C-alpha cells in the first residue's frame, strides 16, 4: 500500500502560485509499506515571491505580537500534538517509520517526550535563559548602565534542516518564532515531513502566523534558489556535516548572519560507584538507551563510554552487560534497515577488530550474531594508544577502562572543541571534579546517563545562546534620556 501526501507549506496567498508548478516525488519504502511525498519544484521567481510575502506578513502581523502571545500559539500547537488522536500526529506516526526506517514505537514515544519540551513553561524558560528581561523582545527596557535597549529578531530566517532525527527542526523553528521572524524552512530529503506538519498545525491555531512560514524542498546546492533565499533573509541557520556547512557559509551575503550547527561527537563517563552490585545493570540499561536511541544518528549519541576500574563489576563486565541491554533494546525497538554503505562500514570495522583481537588480548568484540544490529567493543589502551575511537554509528559503541577520570582528558584531546554531549554516571563526591574537567575540555553539554538524546529547554546548543545569538540590539544611551528634559515643552 502506498500513501501519497503533498509535503509543503506556504502562505495562503501563495498557494495559487503553486498550482502551475511541476512537482517532485520523493518515494520511501520501509516496513513493507511505501509513501510518496509530492513537493513543488521551485523556480527563483516563485521563491522570491514567497519570500516577499513572508516578509510582508512579518512586518504587518508577526512583529505586532507580544512574545507571550506567540508562546501561547506555539503551546496550543504543541498541546494538539500531545493528544494521541490528533490527526496530524497520527499521520506522522504512520508515515515517519516508513520515511526514516525507525521503529514505530520509538517514534511514538519520542514525539510525546520531545514535544513536551516545547510547552508554555518550557518556551518561557528558553527566553529567560537568554535574556535577563524577556520583555526586551517587545519594548525598550532600562539598561543597568543607563539608557534603554531592545532586542530585534531577524525579519526572515532561512532554516536548513537536517533529517537524521525526526522532529529535530522544531528547535530551530521555535527560535525563529519566539524572535518574531518569518520562516523559510528547507527540509531534508531524508526526512521532509515533520516540519511541514507542524507548520500546518501553527496555521490551524493562528492562520496569520502560519502565513509567515514556508516549508519547502529543493535540492541542496541549487545556486539560484539558495541565492534568492539567502539574499532575502537576515539570518541563515544550517544543520549538517562539515562539507555542507562550509558550502553554505561561502554563500551567505554580507547583510545576513550565519549560525551553523555542524558535526559533533559525544561520549559517556562512568565511575566505579555506578558499577556496584545493586547499580551495575541499571547503569548498563541507561547507557544502552543513550547509544541505541535513533541508532546514534544524532550528535548527542555516544561513541564511547569511559569506565573507571575498581567497581564491583569490571569495565569488561560492563561491556557485556551493555551488550545484553542493547540486545534487549533491539527486541523492543528494532534498528532501522541500513543502507548498503552503512552495513559495509560496520562489517569493515568488525573485520578489522576481529583480526586485531587475535593478537591483542585486551580487546574484545561483542556483537549481535544474526546481523549488524548492535556492536560493543571492549578496548584497553596502552601508553601509545590515544586515538578517540569514532563509531560507524547504528548502535556501535566502544567501552574503554580508565584507572581514574583524569585519564579521560588526554584520550579526548583530539576531539576537543567538537564534543557536543557527555553523559555522566557518578556519585556526588565526584560531581564537581568531573564537570570541571569536562568543562575545561570544551564540552558543551553534560547530562545524566539515559538523558543524552533529550536536551533540556534553554540548553546552549554548541555552547552558544539559542536565541540571543540571533538578535540585534538597539541601545538608546542615557545622554538622550537626560537631554530630553531640556526640550520638554512643559518644563518650567
In the chain the domains, ranked by start, together with CATH numbers, are 2-263+459-476 (3.40.605.10), 265-443 (3.40.309.10)
Question: Kindly report the CA angle at 64 between 62 and 68, in degrees rounded to 5?
Answer: 85
Cβ–Cβ contacts within 10 Å for residue 459, how many?
A: 17
Q: Phi, psi at residue 250, to the nearest 5°?
A: -70, -15
Grid cell in block for residue 453: 538524546
Grid cell in block for residue 223: 545556486
| Structure letter (DSSP) for residue 41 | -
Kindly report the pTM of this predicted structure.
0.93
Grid cell in block for residue 462: 554548541
Say how far apart CA 198 and CA 218 lie, in whole Å.
19
Say how far apart CA 134 and CA 158 lie, in whole Å.
24
Say how far apart CA 419 and CA 444 lie, in whole Å.
7
Burial 262-280 (b: 16+ CB within 10 A, else e): bebbbbbbbbbbbbeeebb
Say how far apart CA 59 and CA 61 lie, in whole Å.
6
Say how far apart CA 289 and CA 280 lie, in whole Å.
14
Nearest alpha-carbon partner for 172 in 91, 253, 235: 235
| Structure letter (DSSP) for residue 9 | B
Taking each helix axis as running N to C, give the angle between helix 193-205 and helix 67-82, from 0 to 180 degrees, rounded to the nearest 10.
Answer: 120
Say how far apart CA 7 and CA 188 lie, in whole Å.
12
- Alpha carbon 184 to its chain centroid, in Å, reads 18
Give the β-pairing of 396-402 and 257-261: unpaired
CB 318 within 8 A of CB 269: no
Widest distance between CA atoms in the chain: 96
What is the per-residue pLDDT for 476? 97
Q: Phi, psi at residue 31, to the nearest 5°?
A: 50, 35
List all residues 6 or more positions away from 152 whose beta carbon is below 8 Å from its beta carbon: 471, 472, 473, 474
Grid cell in block for residue 128: 529567560
Say how far apart CA 220 and CA 187 lie, in whole Å.
10
Say how far apart CA 338 and CA 341 lie, in whole Å.
8
Nearest alpha-carbon partner for 102 in 368, 327, 333, 332: 333
Question: Kindly report the CA angle at 269 between 456 and 259, in degrees rounded to 5?
Answer: 45
What is the per-residue pLDDT for 163? 87
Provide block-wise average pLDDT over 10 residues at a time, the chain (492 residues): 95 93 95 95 97 98 98 98 97 97 94 94 94 95 94 98 90 96 97 97 98 96 96 96 92 96 94 96 98 94 98 98 98 94 97 93 94 97 79 97 95 92 98 96 96 87 91 96 90 75
Dihedral sign from CA coordinates of 248, 253, 259, 265:
positive
Taking each helix axis as running N to C, give the angle between helix 170-178 and helix 67-82, from 0 to 180 degrees, rounded to the nearest 10.
Answer: 150
Q: Phi, psi at residue 139, to the nearest 5°?
A: -160, 165
Dihedral sign from CA coordinates of 9, 95, 90, 335:
negative
Nearest alpha-carbon partner for 269 in 299, 302, 293: 302
| Structure letter (DSSP) for residue 464 | S
What is the per-residue pLDDT for 263? 87
Q: 3-class secondary structure for 256-303?
A: CEEEEECCCEEEEEECHHHHCCCCHHHHHHHHHHHHHHHHHCCCCCEE
- The count of C-alpha atoms lying within 13 angstroms of the C-alpha of 110, restricted to the half-sphere facing its C-beta, is 23
Question: In this predicted model, what pLDDT tens digit does every residue of 84-93 receive, in sequence order?
Answer: 999 999 999 9
Say how far apart CA 152 and CA 67 lie, in whole Å.
12
Question: In this predicted model, what pLDDT tens digit does every residue of 357-387 receive, in sequence order?
Answer: 998 989 999 999 889 999 999 999 876 667 8
Question: Partners of 237 in the beta sheet?
Answer: 159, 259
| Structure letter (DSSP) for residue 311 | S
Q: Phi, psi at residue 489, to the nearest 5°?
A: -65, -20
Nearest alpha-carbon partner for 24 in 46, 7, 9, 12: 7
Amino acid at each position: 500500500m502506498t500513501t501519497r501526501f503533498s509535503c509543503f507549506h506556504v502562505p495562503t496567498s501563495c498557494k495559487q502560485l503553486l498550482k502551475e508548478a511541476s512537482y517532485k516525488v520523493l518515494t520511501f519504502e520501509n516496513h513493507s509499506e511505501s509513501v510518496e511525498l509530492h513537493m513543488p519544484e521551485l523556480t527563483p521567481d516563485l521563491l522570491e515571491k514567497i519570500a516577499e510575502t513572508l516578509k510582508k506578513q512579518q512586518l504587518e502581523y508577526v512583529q505586532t505580537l507580544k512574545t507571550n502571545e506567540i508562546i501561547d500559539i506555539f503551546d496550543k500547537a504543541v498541546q494538539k500534538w500531545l493528544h494521541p488522536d490528533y490527526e496530524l500526529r497520527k499521520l506522522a506516526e504512520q508515515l515517519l517509520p516508513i520515511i526514516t526506517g525507525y521503529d514505530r514505537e520509538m517514534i511514538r514515544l519520542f514525539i510525546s517526550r520531545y514535544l513536551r519540551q516545547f510547552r508554555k513553561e518550557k518556551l518561557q524558560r528558553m527566553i529567560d535563559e537568554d535574556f535577563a528581561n524577556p520583555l526586551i523582545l517587545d519594548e525598550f527596557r532600562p539598561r543597568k548602565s543607563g539608557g534603554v535597549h531592545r532586542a530585534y529578531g531577524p525579519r526572515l530566517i532561512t532554516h536548513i534542516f537536517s533529517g537524521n532525527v525526526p522532529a529535530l527542526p522544531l528547535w530551530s523553528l521555535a527560535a525563529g518564532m519566539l524572535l518574531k521572524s518569518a520562516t523559510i524552512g528547507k527540509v531534508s530529503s531524508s526526512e521532509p515531513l515533520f516540519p511541514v506538519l507542524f507548520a500546518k498545525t501553527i496555521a490551524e491555531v493562528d492562520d496569520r502566523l502560519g502565513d509567515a512560514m514556508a516549508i519547502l524542498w529543493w535540492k541542496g546546492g541549487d545556486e539560484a534558489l539558495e541565492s534568492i533565499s539567502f539574499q532575502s533573509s537576515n539570518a541563515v541557520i544550517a544543520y549538517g556535516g562539515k562539507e555542507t556547512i562550509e558550502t553554505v557559509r561561502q554563500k551567505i551575503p554580507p547583510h545576513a548572519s550565519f549560525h551553523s550547527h555542524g558535526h559533533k561527537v559525544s561520549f559517556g563517563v562512568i565511575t566505579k560507584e555506578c558499577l556496584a552490585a545493586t547499580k551495575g545493570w541499571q547503569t548498563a540499561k541507561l547507557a544502552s538507551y543513550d547509544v541505541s536511541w535513533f541508532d546514534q544518528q544524532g550528535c548527542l549519541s555516544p561513541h564511547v563510554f569511559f569506565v573507571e576500574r575498581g567497581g564491583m563489576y569490571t569495565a569488561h563486565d560492563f561491556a557485556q552487560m551493555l551488550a545484553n541491554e542493547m540486545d534487549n533494546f533491539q527486541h523492543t525497538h528494532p534498528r532501522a534497515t541500513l543502507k548498503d554503505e552503512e552495513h559495509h562500514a560496520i562489517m569493515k570495522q568488525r573485520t578489522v577488530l576481529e583480526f586485531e583481537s587475535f593478537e591483542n588480548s585486551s580487546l574484545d568484540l561483542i556483537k549481535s550474531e544474526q546481523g549488524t544490529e548492535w556492536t560493543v567493543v571492549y578496548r584497553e589502551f596502552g601508553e601509545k594508544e590515544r586515538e578517540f575511537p569514532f563509531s560507524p554509528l547504528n548502535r556501535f559503541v566502544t567501552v574503554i577502562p580508565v584507572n581514574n577520570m583524569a585519564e579521560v582528558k588526554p584520550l579526548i584531546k583530539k576531539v576537543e572543541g567538537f564534543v557536543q554531549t557527555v553523559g555522566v554516571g557518578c556519585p556526588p563526591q565526584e560531581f564537581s571534579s568531573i564537570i570541571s574537567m569536562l568543562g575545561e575540555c570544551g564540552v558543551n553539554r553534560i547530562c545524566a546517563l539515559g538523558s543524552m538524546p533529550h536536551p533540556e529547554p534553554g540548553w546552549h546548543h554548541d555552547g552558544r545562546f539559542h536565541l540571543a545569538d540571533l538578535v540585534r540590539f538597539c541601545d538608546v544611551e542615557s545622554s538622550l534620556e537626560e537631554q530630553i528634559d531640556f526640550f520638554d515643552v512643559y518644563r518650567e
